[in-house]
């Protein structure tokens, strides 16, 4: 678990201002006022309520600290108690694919998009005059839209959709989306992810592919191609190998993506 140093009193408003909304509710955090610290006096030291109270101290020779990218807080951990996937996970975990990241354990990457359709993100069930419908929960609307943009970006990289500058993702945008995905199941933000070294140039693409269910696509693609062949649809013969890098377009006209 992480240690945090913040100016002023601890409150939900203070956490939001410091861009720490991914942390547990302020009422569940333990805190202590410090007369010393990496940034000097007058700071509030706090941590997840599961942190042992005897560990809520500043010990520079036994801890690692860094200032947040936004300059609003300090982030640290005990060198013999480096945060792991298990210590950072939320009470409720959304289904997805596992990813070993930064030597800190297996993190579940939530399925923003399941192959061939749907999502693992919770949906609100609404009964209307037309029947039962599903509606996106407000907290996931933005993430879903960004994940869909990622999916279209993958398709365009494979020339399965026409080029569109609006669907181009920069490295920073993809990094931020991967952090957002991790933050759904874990108490993690960009600073925590960076400090633990959870994302590198390889895992960046791995996480992106997991959140849009590339493993599901790869598993189902051979069966899908077999159905296409039975329908006598024109498709390159070597596509039956199951490689999503082969062929000129989606096998059955539905959304697919590269490995």
- Residue 222, in any domain of the structure: no
Say if residue 24 is exposed, middle or buried (CB neighbours under 10 Å; 0-12, 13-18, 19+).
Answer: middle
Whether residues 9 and 120 share a domain: the answer is no
Identify the band that residue 206 occupies on the pLDDT scale cut at 50, 70 and 90.
Answer: very high
Whether residues 7 and 111 share a domain: the answer is no
Pairing of strands 73-78, 3-7: antiparallel
Asked if pLDDT for residue 40 goes beyond 90, the answer is: no
Identify the band that residue 34 occupies on the pLDDT scale cut at 50, 70 and 90.
Answer: confident
**Last residue of one domain, picked from the residues 172, 196, 211:** 211
- Residue 170, in any domain of the structure: yes
Whether residues 131 and 197 share a domain: the answer is yes
How far the first Cα of the chain sits from its last, in Å, is: 34
**Separation of alpha carbons 47 and 68, rounded Å:** 15
Tokens of 232: 């006598």
**Separation of alpha carbons 239 and 241, rounded Å:** 5
**Last residue of one domain, picked from the residues 43, 63, 82:** 82
Write out the residue range of the structural domain in which residue 192 sits. 89-211
The residue-averaged pLDDT of 35-57 equals 83
pLDDT (tens digit per residue) in 61-97 = 999 999 999 999 999 999 999 999 999 999 999 999 9
Whether residues 204 and 116 share a domain: the answer is yes
Whether residues 127 and 75 share a domain: the answer is no
Distances from the Cα of 123 to the Cα of 140, 142, 185, angstroms: 9, 14, 16
Whether residues 114 and 188 share a domain: the answer is yes
What total number of domains does the chain contain? 2
- DSSP class per residue in 144-210: HHHHHHHHHHHHHHTTSS---GGG---HHHHHHHHHHHHHHHBS--HHHHHHHT---HHHHHHHHHH
Whether residues 122 and 72 share a domain: the answer is no
- Residue 37, in any domain of the structure: yes
Q: Express as a percent the part of the chain with pLDDT over 90.
A: 40
Cα 63 to its chain centre, rounded Å, is 26
- Residue 17, in any domain of the structure: yes
Whether residues 70 and 144 share a domain: the answer is no
Say if residue 120 is exposed, middle or buried (CB neighbours under 10 Å; 0-12, 13-18, 19+).
Answer: middle
Q: Are the beta carbons of 1 and 87 closer than 8 angstroms? A: yes
**Last residue of one domain, picked from the residues 15, 49, 82:** 82
Whether residues 41 and 148 share a domain: the answer is no
The three-state secondary structure class of 111 is coil
**Average pLDDT value over all residues in the chain:** 82
Whether residues 101 and 179 share a domain: the answer is yes
Whether residues 200 and 97 share a domain: the answer is yes
* Cis omega (within 30 of 0) for bond into 116: yes
């Amino acid at each position: 678990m992480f240690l945090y140093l913040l100016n002023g009193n601890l409150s939900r408003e203070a956490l939001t201002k410091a861009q720490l909304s991914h942390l547990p509710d302020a009422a569940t955090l333990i805190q202590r006022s410090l007369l010393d610290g990496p940034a000097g006096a007058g700071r509030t030291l706090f941590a997840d309520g599961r942190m042992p109270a005897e560990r809520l101290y500043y010990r520079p020779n036994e801890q690692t600290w860094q200032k947040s990218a936004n300059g609003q807080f300090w982030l640290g951990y005990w060198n013999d108690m480096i945060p792991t996937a298990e210590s950072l996970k939320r009470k409720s975990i959304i289904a997805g694919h596992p990813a070993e990241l930064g030597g800190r354990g297996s993190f579940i990457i939530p399925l923003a998009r399941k192959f061939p359709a749907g999502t693992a993100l919770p949906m609100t069930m609404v009964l209307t005059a037309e029947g039962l419908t599903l509606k996106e929960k407000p907290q996931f609307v933005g993430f879903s839209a960004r994940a869909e943009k990622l999916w279209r970006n993958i398709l365009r990289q494979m020339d399965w959709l026409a080029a569109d500058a609006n669907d181009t993702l920069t490295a920073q945008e993809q990094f931020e989306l991967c952090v957002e995905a991790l933050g759904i199941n874990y108490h993690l933000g960009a600073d925590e992810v960076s400090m633990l070294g959870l994302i590198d140039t390889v895992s960046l693409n791995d996480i992106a592919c997991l959140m849009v269910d590339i493993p599901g696509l790869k598993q189902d693609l051979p069966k899908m191609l077999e159905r296409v062949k039975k329908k006598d649809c024109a498709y390159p013969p070597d596509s039956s190998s199951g490689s999503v890098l082969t062929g000129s377009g989606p096998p059955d006209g539905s959304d697919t993506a590269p490995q």
